Amino acid sequence: MTTQASQKLEHKIDINELSSLIEKLKNENKDYLIVGDFNSDPIRNITFECELLHMVKEMELKSFDIEFDNKNKHTYTNGIHSSAIDHVIGPKHLVDVVQNVKIYPTDPINLSDHLPLISELKIKINNVKKKPKKRETKRKGIKKINWNDMNVRMEYASLLEKEIKTNKLIERLNNGNRIVHKYLLDETNNALHSSMLQIKSKIGFQNLIYLD
């Protein structure tokens, strides 16, 4: 197979794949624009280019880039030949959406053999204000000791009494002096509070109830 025949076959395969994609978008009722290098210049209208022209006609599309007057008539050059093979293609009903397609002029900093296409589109955007979601607060249940259970209360009282005797909290206050200093009261109170917390943990999970 010659190089030209191979390129023609490859081009035909590309166009067929593109046609399948367009058909899919059409069936999904989606608007679209296909932009890029098609390796085809519709203006030349030679055998190699007819595949793209046929697809555009059969699928009721429009090559919007050729509708606008540009100083540069080419989008690609190899230094010898130039051609317009980059396009903006889409359904004809988007004619009011595509306001302009400009071929960016040659620039020394552009190292590509293609020139950029700049498309100006007019798109209507429906701003739908969504109501802010209410902050969801998940109410967590609280585990508490079931004080309604007589056995729990008796167990707690027994353990607390044991802690008071072990730490000699009463003896601290009953030291024979009629005046009890504040620091001694604070120290005894803190020790009692600490003992109460320790007892709660000793009672065990079997005596806990889950409250909403």
Tens of pLDDT, residue by residue over 47-88, are: 667 888 889 999 999 999 989 988 888 999 888 889 999 999
Tell me, yes or no, whether 179 and 84 share the same domain: no
pLDDT of 211 strictly over 50: no
Q: Considering the domain boundaries, does residue 51 fall inside one? A: yes
More confident residue, 139 or 26: 26
121, 151, 167 — which closes off a domain? Answer: 121
Tell me, yes or no, whether 188 and 110 share the same domain: no
pLDDT of 177 strictly over 70: no
pLDDT of 173 strictly over 70: no
More confident residue, 45 or 113: 113
10-14, 109-113, 134-138, 194-198: least confident range: 134-138
Find the domain containing 12 and state its range: 7-121
Q: In this predicted structure, what is the pLDDT of residue 11?
A: 81
Mean pLDDT of the chain: 80
**Enclosing H/E stretch for 66:** none
Tell me, yes or no, whether 38 and 102 share the same domain: yes
Q: What is the CATH number of the domain that holds 104?
A: 3.60.10.10
89 Cβ neighbours under 8 A, 6+ residues apart:
33, 34, 35, 38, 56, 61, 62, 63, 64
Tell which residue, 98, 92, 210, has the closest CA to residue 146.
210
Tell me, yes or no, whether 108 and 173 share the same domain: no
Does the predicted TM-score (pTM) go above 0.85?
A: no
C-alpha distances out from residue 185 to 128, 157, 169, 188, 190, Å = 66, 22, 10, 5, 9
* Interval 130-158: pLDDT, tens: 776 666 555 555 556 776 777 877 887 78
89, 121, 153 — which closes off a domain? Answer: 121
More confident residue, 43 or 207: 43
Give the C-alpha separation, 94 to 34, whole Å.
Answer: 12
> Which whole number is the average pLDDT over 40-46?
77
